[in-house]
Structure 1
Amino acid sequence: MRYLLAPDSFKEAASAQAVAEAMRRGIRAADPDAEYRVMPLSDGGEGLTAALVGATGGKLRSAHVHDALGRPIVAQYGFLEVVPESDDSVHSDGETHVRTAVVELAAASGLERIRPADRDPLAASTFGTGELIRAAIDEGADRIVLGLGGSATTDGGTGLARALGYRFLDCDDCELPFGGSALPRLARIDDTDVPSAIRSMPIVLACDVTNPLTGPRGAAAVFAPQKGADARQVALLDAGLGKLADAIETLNGRAIGNLPGSGAAGGTGGGMLGLFNATMRPGIELVLDLLHAREACAWADVVITGEGSIDSQTPYGKVPSGIARLAKSQGKPAIAIGGKVTRDPQTLAALREAGIVATFGTAPGPADLPELLADTERNVESTCAAIAGLLRASTQQTPTSAVGPVQS
């Protein structure tokens, strides 16, 4: 039996790499003759850099930057060794490839970097992410893959843009302070100090949301409360993002307010589309292309994937559904595991449509959340051992039988 082990991280419990290795240990314990490939994944948020750098044999780099509150930190970015053959940005001479750097917004400007008591949704800035991009460019990057997810910010990417040369000015031509709360005072954007190399740098935004920049489904209304904003602050941040959209349209004619995904990462999606040579792709699709996952699915007999919670969001742009659809296109079944697994009939139907033929919860029984989080890798290992044992017994008895649509 050939297994492709392709999970996302289990948030706040284990990285995608750690989950994949736990899967491998479980498979090997139950079926020593099994073959397996380990492919940790990300949908563009947490774990994107590690997943792509690890799978492509690239290299991690570190840089001294600032977190969302302006405090000095060290954050990582990475360089890939390979790029997808289908990508038009690959040189066609067969000798030189575009040097692609991967940056996670959450690495510098992430919510998890800030203690709950210290979170400030009005002042939080993406400046540190811009510093990471600048470091990658200084190291020779020809293209940036930027993962949008997990941000502590609602500044429309203005902090990031400031780190790369843009200035955001009020009606007196004074530069605004960092953070989304200053944006309602934005009068104009000055791009005279932005180098031409940065203007033309291809930036691919890995994004798993389609929210617009403003309004009831916008960045502030939907995501700012998760970052600590109250109703008054949400209204202020939404107004600021609207002013940003107006200023960008005045600067260069780009209308970003209603673009799908412009509300990603506190409006950073919109700021990037408006001010840079940026394009947006669903994060999981981008990752699967970069890792040549189609070929891996064709090789495997079964794919095992997973994330911390298999829920109503899983069928839509998340890692388990993304890899399952690719496996389905190759005629291969996918099994999903999670610390928590929904039993909602509509969600289960959507998962089956995506190609997930079975779901398994990893929790061995009732337990406190801290205990379950601490035991995540052990529970993943035992769950995958049970799955491998079942499949091994099934193939020994009826070699041509298929995996059935069951939930556990």
Structure 2
Amino acid sequence: MRILLAPDSFKEAASAEAIAQAMARGIKRGNPQAECWLMPLSDGGEGLTHALVHATGGTLHDVETVDAVGRPIIAQFGFLGNKHTSCTAVVELASASGLERVSPADRNALVASTFGTGLLIRAAIDAGADRIVLGLGGSATTDGGTGLAHAFGFRFLDAHDSDIPLGGGALVDLARIDDSRVSDSIKNVPIVLACDVTNPLTGPEGAAHVFAPQKGATATQVELLDQGLANLARAIMQYNGRDIEHTPGAGAAGGTGGGMLGLFNATVKPGIELVLNLAHGREACAWADVVITGEGSIDSQTPYGKVPSGIAKLAQSQGKPTIAIGGTVTRDPHTVEALNKAGIIATFGIAPGPADLTTLIANTERNVEITCAAIASTLRITAATSPCESA
């Protein structure tokens, strides 16, 4: 039996690559004869760089940059392998400007900036990249990508032609955008935004109202940030005539999607579709008899643009079944029905029994291994007793 192991990371517990390795160990315990293809995935958030570098045989590169609140850190970008026609670099915004980089006590929704991500992309271009894949997800910021653009020389000026500070809180004072220090070659580099949300830039479903509270913003700060993003949209319209305020995906990563679409040569693609294409997901599904995927929580969001549903739909198009595992698994009938329609025929929670969250997170890889061993044993028994096998 050939089994494709294609999980996302289990957030705050283990990377997609570590989960795939644990899955493989479990499969071999349950069925030593099984063949495994490990394809750790990402929907554009955390783990995107490692997933694509792993899938294409690329390389990782360390860069000195800063986190969302300006502290020096080391972050990574990757170059794709497999002889891609362009020199494509992969950057995930979460690597430098991610929420997990900043402890709750240090989070500041008004000053958090994507400047560090801009430094990371500049380093990739300086190293030879002529195309960027930027994963939008897991950000600590609501600055509309202005910090990122500032790293390339864009200036964001107030009514007195003074530079406004970094961070989304200052955008209410933005009067105009100056690009006199930005080279045309930088502005023309193709940037593909890997994004799994469709939120607009502003309004009740926009970046500030939906995502800023989890980044430490109070209700008052949410309103201020939303006003700032609307002001950014007006400034971009004045700068080059691009209308980004209501574009689906503009609200991703604290409005970075909108800023990138407004200021750079950027396009948006669903993260999981982009990853599956670059990682040769179609070929992997064609090879497999069954697919096992997973993420930290199999819930109402899973059927919509997440890794398990993305790989399941691709497998389903080739007549291959998909099984999903998760740290928690919903039994809500509507969600289960949506998962089934996406091609996920069964879901399994990895928790062995009642336990506190800290213990469950610490034992994630072990519990993944045990669960996959049981799944492999079941698949082996089913295959051995099927009419086709016995005929």
TM-score (norm 1): 0.95
Q: How does 1:66-215 map to 2 (within 5 A)?
A: 66-82=66-82, 97-215=85-203
Q: Hey, what's the Cα distance between the residues in 2 that align with 1:165 and 1:200?
A: 14
Match of 1:283 in 2: 271
Instruction: Write the letter of the residue equivalent to 1:208.
Output: D
Name 1:252's counterpart in structure 2.
Answer: 240
Q: What's the counterpart of residue 39 of structure 2?
A: 39
Offset, 1:109 = 0.4
Q: Tell me which residue corresponds to 2:60.
A: 60
CA RMSD of aligned residues (A): 0.8
* Identical counterparts, % of pairs: 72
Distance 1:244 1:400 in 2: 62
2:33 corresponds to which letter in structure 1?
D
Give me the whole-angstrom Cα distance separating, in 1, the residues matched to 2:327 and 2:255.
30
Measured in 2, the distance between the counterparts of 1:399 and 1:384 equals 24
CA deviation vs aligned residue, 1:90-121 (integer Å, no higher than 9, x gap): 7xxxxxx2000000100000000001001000
Q: Unpaired runs of 5+ in structure 1? A: 84-89, 91-96, 402-408
Corresponding residue of 1:404: none
**How far apart, in 1, do the equivalents of 2:36 and 2:53 lie?**
20
CA distance in 2, matches of 1:394, 1:284: 31
Instruction: Select which of 330, 339, 343 maps to 1:342.
Output: 330
Tell me how far 1:399 sits from its aligned partner. 4.9
Aligned counterpart, 1:406 = none
Deviations 1:229-265 (A, max 9, x none): 0110000000000000000000100000000000000
Tell me the alpha carbon deviations over residues 324-364 of structure 1, each in whole angstroms, 9 at most, x when there is no partner. 00000000000000010000000000000000000000000
1:218 to 197, 206, 226: 206
- Which of 229, 234, 259 aligns to 1:241? It is 229
CA distance, structure 1, for counterparts of residue 31 and residue 99 of structure 2: 40
Q: Which residue identity is paired with 1:362?
A: I
Following TM superposition, by how much is the alpha carbon of 1:400 offset from its aligned partner in structure 2, in angstroms?
3.7
Change (3 A) 1:127 1:399: farther
Q: Distance in 2 between matches of 1:33 and 1:213?
A: 51
Query: Which residue in the other structure is 1:299 paired with?
Result: 287
Structure 1: 4+ residue segments shifted above 4 A? none
Q: Distance in 2 between matches of 1:320 and 1:341?
A: 12
Structure 2: 5+ residue stretches without partners: none
The alignment status of 1:14 with 2:2, answered yes or no, reads: no
In structure 1, the residue matched to 2:364 is 376
Matches of 2:102 and 2:317, distance apart in 1: 41
How far apart are the structure 2 equivalents of 1:210 and 1:400? 45
Residue 21 (structure 1) shift: 0.3
Secondary structure in structure 2 of the residue aligned to 1:244:
helix
Query: Quick one: distance in 2 between partners of 1:283 and 1:400?
Result: 38
Deviations 1:43-66 (A, max 9, x none): 000000000001111000011101
Determine the C-alpha separation between the residues in 2 that align with 1:29 and 1:356.
Answer: 23
Q: How many residues are aligned here?
A: 389
Q: Distance in 2 between matches of 1:80 and 1:399?
A: 44
Q: 1:121 to 1:135 in 2, by over 3 A?
A: same
* CA distances 1:102-145 after superposition (whole Å, capped 9, x unpaired): 00100000000001001000000000000000000000001000
Instruction: Give how far 1:82 is off.
Output: 3.1
Q: Which residue of the other structure, out of 361, 367, 386, is the alignment partner of 1:398?
A: 386
Cα distance between partner residues in 2 of 1:221 and 1:340? 27
Q: Which SS does the other structure have where 1:307 is aligned? A: strand
- Cα distance between partner residues in 1 of 2:39 and 2:89: 19
Question: How far apart are the structure 2 equivalents of 1:399 and 1:192?
Answer: 72
Q: Deviations over 1:62-90 (max 9, x none)?
A: 1110110011111011100137xxxxxx7
The 3-state SS of whatever aligns with 2:353 is coil
SS at match of 1:151: coil
* Equivalent-residue separation in structure 1 for 2:30 and 2:65 (angstroms): 45
Letter of the 1:49 counterpart: T
